[in-house]
Amino acid sequence: MVDLQFKLTDVIWEDMVMLEGAPITAIVVWDRSMVDEMLLQPVTDNTRIFVDIDLYLANQTKLELYGASVALDEASDPIIGLGAIGDALARYSRDGAFIDEIAAGEDEMLVLVLNNDRDSSLLIGASAWLEDAWDVLPEEDG
């Protein structure tokens, strides 16, 4: 899949469900998001809710998540602040993060349920996403 996706249809879900169980090798959080221009208020690092995230999976798949929000569970509000989002993902990934479930959220948006070796979950909801392959991890690039 190389086209930008906005809705998790049954057909797309059938392809993506193969990613369940895939370990996450690296996570990159961008300091801007594709959705910034659509927001009514200017966004600062401290008020940021939506980020763009690249997930590098051990199976050489790269998921580019756009307009993504991160929450501890379904009942929690999204984490606010670029630093807090980055810290939560970094802490979480140190404990062996993997994709536990591919799910659909509100308006068929993509929701990734991540889990780790400590058996704690984290939800990432994405407004849009792109699935691609990677050859070099970001810290190895350059």
Q: Indicate if the pLDDT at residue 1 is higher than 70.
A: no
The rounded distance, in Å, linking the Cα atoms of 103 and 93 is 20
Quick: pLDDT tens for 52-106.
999 999 999 999 999 999 999 888 999 999 999 999 998 888 878 999 999 998 8
Quick: pLDDT tens for 105-134.
888 999 999 998 877 789 999 999 999 999
The rounded distance, in Å, linking the Cα atoms of 122 and 87 is 13
Q: Report, as an integer, the average pLDDT of 10-22.
A: 94
pTM: 0.91
Q: Which residue has the tokens 């991160």?
A: 70
Q: In what order do the strands lie in the sheet with 110-115?
A: 24-29, 51-57, 61-71, 122-133, 110-115, 98-104
> Would you state the pLDDT for residue 2?
64
Most distant CA pair in the chain, distance: 41
DSSP percent split of the chain into helix, strand, coil, nearest 5:
20, 35, 40
